Amino acid sequence: MATDHQNHPAAPTITEVAAAAGVGRATVARTLGNYGSVSEATRAKVMRAAEKLGYQPNTLARSMTTGVTKTLGIVLADVANPFFSGVLKGISETAKTAGYDAIILSTDEKLELERDAIAVLLAKQVDGLVVASAAGRSDDVSHLSNAIDRGTPVVLIDRLVDKLETDSVVIDNREAARSAVASLIHNGHRRIAFAWGPVTLSPATDLKQMHSILDEALWSDGERLRGYLDALEEAGIPFDTALITHVLKNEGQATRAVSGMLALADPPTAIFTTETEATVGALHSLRAKNLRLLKDVSLIGFDDSPWAAVMDPPLTMIQQPMRQMGAVASQQLIARIDGDTSAPKKHVLPSQLVARSSDGPVRAARGE
């Protein structure tokens, strides 16, 4: 079986199809490869011959002759994250409509795996790349800049990468976070927990330190924390590092970190979460302390999910246009593949605060 399948002896070659159709190999390649010009009569002849011989189009062979694989390389931080599976749906739908296939690789938020993934995809000669990069601001991103220099267009999604002049599709994470936190402050909250903060063994002791840590953070994470800090500053609320997580980003760590904050002498009356696992972790810590959403503690977070609407109470969540982000990214990429050489475009799509019932006046939290 193994040998059998390694050289497909059954499958007729382009040469055999050419012979049967009485035309040249190049003509068969153009016809079956759908490139270059072929007269309708010739195309019909070739297709009949190919069908008669049961020809399996070999896109590898075609790629060798045309250099075009009609394949997009998609590098996402974590396909199991609902945000990225939404993005993926948008990418796949748009790519398929345009006649492209998508090779998807997941990097688990690890920059080394991202470098591997890009190398693999370039080696497979994908026509372009959509990348949600795990690169922090000071990380080496030559694996991306080299791809671009080499002529393989790259569209960044969800995260911008400093030093990289290329197309991108994002939301305004800083403003989305600022306005959500501002709405908590508007409801009288002054002690607001933040998860996820940047992962570090030496948490910032003051605002200045925090900003320099943020300069190294993943772009979207940094922007969301900046938005939180903007809202505090507008309201003249002092920065408190004890209310910002610095642990590894998983559900269990979020549960422990938020539980620790709720045990403070001056505990938070509200929680702002930047990601689904942080939200679920925070909800676990509230359950463990028998604290009720809204009545005891308010919560707003990224990203909205179907289940958020059936929680009791339903969760107020920031909704990103995931499918649209994926669609715009692949449209932009395909435009580049088709030769668009205009200046890099930054697509900033609108996010939305879906107001439900997990947030409200701090009075409730004080039991007044």
Q: How far is the CB of 253 from its own copies (least distance, A)?
A: 14
Q: How far is the CB of 243 from its own copies (least distance, A)?
A: 21
Nearer to its own copies, 242 or 355 (CB): 355
d(CA 322, CA 308): 16
Which of 15, 116, 124 lies closest to 75, judged by CA? 116
Nearer to its own copies, 3 or 37 (CB): 3
- Whether the CB-CB separation of 153 and 333 falls below 8 Å is answered with yes
Q: How far is the CB of 1 from its own copies (least distance, A)?
A: 5
Q: How far is the CB of 184 from its own copies (least distance, A)?
A: 20
For its own copies, the binding residues (CB under 8 A) are 1-8, 10-11, 56-61, 63-64, 66-69, 71, 79-80, 82, 85-86, 88-89, 92, 101-106, 120, 122-125, 127, 150-153, 251, 276-277, 280, 283-284, 287, 305-307, 309-312, 336-339, 341
3-state secondary structure of 28: helix
3-state secondary structure of 136: strand
The pair of three-digit structure tokens given for residue 44, joined into one six-digit string: 């019909």
Nearer to its own copies, 237 or 280 (CB): 280
Nearer to its own copies, 199 or 311 (CB): 311
The pair of three-digit structure tokens given for residue 361, joined into one six-digit string: 């006046």
Nearer to its own copies, 233 or 312 (CB): 312
d(CA 97, CA 94): 5
Strands 352-354 and 316-319 turn out to be antiparallel
The sign of the dihedral angle between the CA atoms of 177, 92, 127, 334 is negative
C-alpha 26: how far from its chain's center? 41
Q: How far is the CB of 283 from its own copies (least distance, A)?
A: 4
What is the Cα gyration radius of the chain? Answer: 26
Q: How far is the CB of 41 from its own copies (least distance, A)?
A: 25
Nearer to its own copies, 83 or 219 (CB): 83
